[in-house]
Structure 1
Amino acid sequence: MLKQHLLPNRSANAQSLPMPLDLDGDLAVFFNTDEFAKPATYQAKTGGAVTIQVLFDKAWMNLADMASVGVSTVNPMARAKTADLLDGGSAGETLVIASTTYQIRDVQPDGQGVTTLELQKV
């Protein structure tokens, strides 16, 4: 004989509560300098410089679609916790990573607590 399992009765109007997310805890693993991150000095347009943790990448980029000849380049990018950036970050601010200064060209928040910063070496 099979044992029948009963589920709690839910009315059609019952609302399920969203599961709380621990984004700070999850992001802490990635933005840990003992794991993946690098320290960077972030200089906002106003205020003093602060050290934040970033995920730095010098991604190769093929520009063949944008040029009539085969051209490629390196497109440095950094990902930072949005909360570490003053007002979410802004073009024109700077990051110093491993003694190299980069100007932030574009700011791309993902809406989940991480912002991608397109960089240009100064």
Structure 2
Amino acid sequence: MFDFDVHTNTPLFSIYARPVTYTPSNKLVAANPLNAIFDREHEIVLDEMANSELRQAGHSTTVPVLTVRLADFVTKPAQGDTVVVDGEGSFTVWDVQPDGEGCADLVLRKV
């Protein structure tokens, strides 16, 4: 079986990732330095309008997103955790979106 994390994620992160410090909201777990891919202006589609009574399409916006390897975590990333991205500042995790291949996109909010 093809190990996507070993053959794809690891080489990708060795080229594009930058240092970050990840701190779980659970204070029993220490901050975790790791490498992640930061996208300052990732476009997402918000579908709350699509599900409303108006039956209209949602709208899009840009948000900071951090792509992480789940193997780098002691505990799963969660909403409310914080991350410091070198050169960008501090962020709170707003949403965790696993990709099914060993990574997750963390939708962030600037602190």
Match of 1:87, SS state, is coil
**Greater Rg over alpha carbons, structure:** 1
Counterpart of 1:95 in structure 2 is: 83
Task: Output the TM-score relative to the length of structure 2.
Answer: 0.73
2:91 partner letter: Y
Counterpart of 1:30 in structure 2 is: 12
Counterpart of 2:23 in structure 1 is: 43
Whether the aligned pair in 2 keeps the contact of 1:40 and 1:96 (CA below 8 Å) is yes
Match of 1:39, SS state, is strand
Spell out the pairing of 1:32-71 with structure 2 (5 A cutoff): 32=14, 35-46=15-26, 47-59=29-41, 61=43
Per-residue deviation at 1:86? 3.8
- Number of matched residues? 99
Following the alignment from structure 1 to structure 2, what is the Cα–Cα distance between the partners of residues 85 and 119? 17
Structure with greater proportional strand content: 2
Per-residue deviation at 1:36? 0.6
Following the alignment from structure 2 to structure 1, what is the Cα–Cα distance between the partners of residues 11 and 79? 27
Query: 4+ runs of 1 displaced by more than 6 Å?
Result: none
Following the alignment from structure 2 to structure 1, what is the Cα–Cα distance between the partners of residues 39 and 23? 19
RMSD of equivalent CA atoms: 2.7
Whether the aligned pair in 2 keeps the contact of 1:60 and 1:72 (CA below 8 Å) is no
Counterpart of 1:76 in structure 2 is: 64
Taking CA–CA contacts closer than 8 Å with sequence separation of 6 or more, which of the two structures ends up with the larger relative contact order? 2
Point out where structure 2 has 5 or more consecutive residues left out of the alignment. 50-58
Task: Output the TM-score relative to the length of structure 1.
Answer: 0.67
**For 1:69-111, what per-residue CA distance to the aligned partner results, in whole angstroms no more than 9, with x for missing partners?**
xx98540000000122343210000110025000000001111
Per-residue deviation at 1:20? 3.6
Counterpart of 1:106 in structure 2 is: 95
